[in-house]
Chain A
């Protein structure tokens, strides 16, 4: 028996060594095999690069290259055809083709993380502050583009404003090409204007008039819940608007906030402020008046659907979302008239999105960063490329109006089926405003609002603070749990006694380690302010 086992272990040992040997061999073989594969697929090799360096004005494109690009989002059924056509032009002009892949929205964060951390060959990928651009850039997932840009993307380099570049910088280096599309996405509400007129309610302009409006609607319209469905967004964003509290690092649901835009270094946990106590008391009266249902935190129905169904009156949206909703409403329920009230009118300032809210970056694993940049330069700046990729085929997906600035979809004179889907591609990353077309019949209030915001615009100083909560992970998780269990019902006025609930909430937050979380956020924010000279 013993001898048998001894023999067994000898064999196992031999096998292990053998495997180790093989794996070592294959590791050695790997680079050779890979470079061979790269050559056979026609990639640019080092000699070609050096020759291009000798003539920086005109990069060498004699080698045919196939690039792999990733976009965050879903494709359209016709995307493969569009990309094929687009590649034909690209092959002629730059001797390049692009394989365009989409992450889709299923578990996109996991997938995005895999693409960037496993060293898979990707030549360009969508990057954004909301997809952890700052974190990934700090960790070294993206290639430093600072020196490549002037040579390989000269047009982009000169057309993107200095401020936009600086917002995309991490430690003084540029890791992504931000989209050039000044965008404001403040919070606000869409509400039924026809009911306001009918019931002779005051103009919506502040907290009191919102209350008066909902009160009037609730009293006169039976069966209507002013904020039907889930009311959390409406109520929590309104709180930030009237108190002037600003979320840090772009996490709108965090309890740690800066007390005001003018005082960015004053960072607190808002449940401990008197403002929150007052607001919670007020919301308690709102909830008991029936402005929203008692199950509002658990339902998933969007308040907008209930406006369409005739049983809701108020819906939280940002201006772009409001535009989409209003346009859609015109088609489905033309009898309903709605208006939009952005909360910036309470605050008297508007903060634009960071330029890197949407952008394109090149992962470290890219084998052809130069060519990839050249393609991006073409895509952003050549209307032929831009329109095809962004809006699809003219005549099939849209038709251009005579002014060349607006388009119609579906195209004029084309009969489409009921389920026809407008051509849409996740192309936010390469937006370049001068090349963008406007859809005819879209909501006319949008441009007016953008003008309004531009006049009161102040730079974004809270969003770029990078928070990954790594040192205070346990505390952050506990705080989140407490926030969900005690904080949300309290803010929604769904507790029997506000004072008592507030006391419990604060105690639980302290127990969960809120102090450590605040200290961590403070430290990160201070570091950022110092780096950018923000007082």
Chain B
């Protein structure tokens, strides 16, 4: 049986769908422009500017990026491994810290939380931080310099703590009565209950690792260890140099990246990580409200 709809409702739905689809198309438009820009011919862009549908189709930009395919795939490998390892380790430590801070049995949870929070107010500055990592930890040109610094952030820990606070104490108590140890409680009960929070923080971490280019910029000196973002950002940075006084000193063969190349770089870099969104989205939407409602 069909529910009969009033005319006004139908009209409302039609308009609603139209407006929403229009907005969706508008959101997609810039992205489409990047894609078509990356497959346009360079001369056409210089002459007429960017077009939604290019007259001349060219994959020169992609050929230039993948001119050294070994290097690019190596960079992909580094980035993907770093993202996975960093996100998992980061999630593990963040949730452990958050869990401990959320337990009422822990007497000093508030002072400790304060100490963690305190570090977000002040920063040691770039040079002391660099000295710590290079001189005292000896992580120059080591993957550790890329893996460790973004792993734990005070903000994530506080977020996790607030989320886990919303899990009733009686759950862990009941498990204790059944004879579960602290780690079992954390692993078998708390973690599954914190999935929305974990997904949110996991996404933050994964994006941070994926987009990181500053750490490799200052710490990594071996080209085969470059992650993807930095490898490609390097191409674009040479354009900025050409606009400064230094340009006069560079060899005449030094050429700026073309417009199409910039677009192609954006595609190559964002490609894989875009697929992470739909994957975590169902947790993500729920996760965003954490702290706000239940806190």
Contact = CB atoms under 8 A, between A and B. Distances in A.
A339 B152 CA distance: 59
A74 B238 contact: yes
A117 interface: yes
Interface string A300-334: 11100110111100000010110111011000000
Contact of A120 (B140, B213, B214, B250): B140
A119 B221 CA distance: 17
Interface string B208-246: 000001100110010100000010011001101111011
Interface string A42-82: 00000000000000000000000000000001110101100
Nearest to A80: B223
Interface in B109-160: 111, 126-127, 130-131, 134-136, 140
Contacts of B20: none
Interface string A247-279: 000111000000000000000000000000000
B248 A318 contact: yes
B245 A130 contact: yes
Interface string A3-19: 01000100010000000
A119 B136 CA distance: 12
A117 B125 CA distance: 13
A428 B249 contact: yes
Interface residues of B, number: 46
B46 interface: yes
B253 A357 contact: no
A120 B252 contact: no
Given A8-B108, A302-B256, A311-B47, A250 B134 contact: no
A128 B238 CA distance: 18
Contact of B46 (A4, A111, A120, A305): A305
A208 interface: no
Interface in A99-113: 99, 101-102, 104-108, 110-111
B252 A324 contact: yes
Contacts of B140: 120
Interface stretch (A167-175, A418-426, A496-504): A418-426
Given A105-B241, A321-B248, A8 B111 contact: yes
Contacts of A104: 217, 234, 237
B182 to A, nearest CB: 21
A26 B131 CA distance: 15
Contact of B126 (A105, A110, A417): A110
Interface in A231-258: 250-252
Contact of A106 (B111, B234, B246): B234
Interface stretch (B27-35, B64-72, B272-280, B281-289): B64-72
A73 B250 CA distance: 9
A106 B46 contact: no
A118 B63 CA distance: 40
B233 A422 contact: no
B193 to A, nearest CB: 30
Contacts of B248: 185, 318, 320-321
Please indicate which of the listed interface residues A110, A114, A421 has the most CB atoms of chain B within 10 Å of its own CB.
A114
B255 to A, nearest CB: 8
B100 interface: no
B126 A130 contact: no
Contact of B230 (A106, A251, A442): A106
B196 to A, nearest CB: 33
Contacts of B249: 128, 130, 185, 357-358, 428
Contacts of A8: 107-108, 111
Contacts of A306: 46
Contacts of B234: 74, 104-106
B291 to A, nearest CB: 26
A85 to B, nearest CB: 17
A105 B238 contact: yes
A321 B217 contact: no
A106 B47 contact: no
Interface in A117-134: 117-120, 128, 130
B134 A325 contact: no
Given A110-B126, A320-B251, A320-B252, 14 more contacts: A12-B111, A26-B136, A77-B68, A101-B221, A105-B240, A105-B241, A107-B237, A118-B130, A251-B245, A308-B46, A324-B251, A324-B254, A419-B67, A422-B253
Interface of B: 43, 46-47, 63-64, 67-68, 71, 107-108, 111, 126-127, 130-131, 134-136, 140, 213-214, 217-218, 221, 223, 230, 233-234, 237-238, 240-243, 245-256
28 contacts: A8-B108, A12-B111, A30-B136, A73-B250, A77-B223, A79-B223, A99-B221, A104-B237, A105-B237, A106-B217, A107-B217, A111-B217, A114-B126, A118-B127, A118-B134, A120-B134, A120-B135, A120-B140, A130-B246, A308-B43, A309-B43, A310-B47, A321-B247, A328-B255, A418-B63, A419-B63, A419-B67, A442-B252
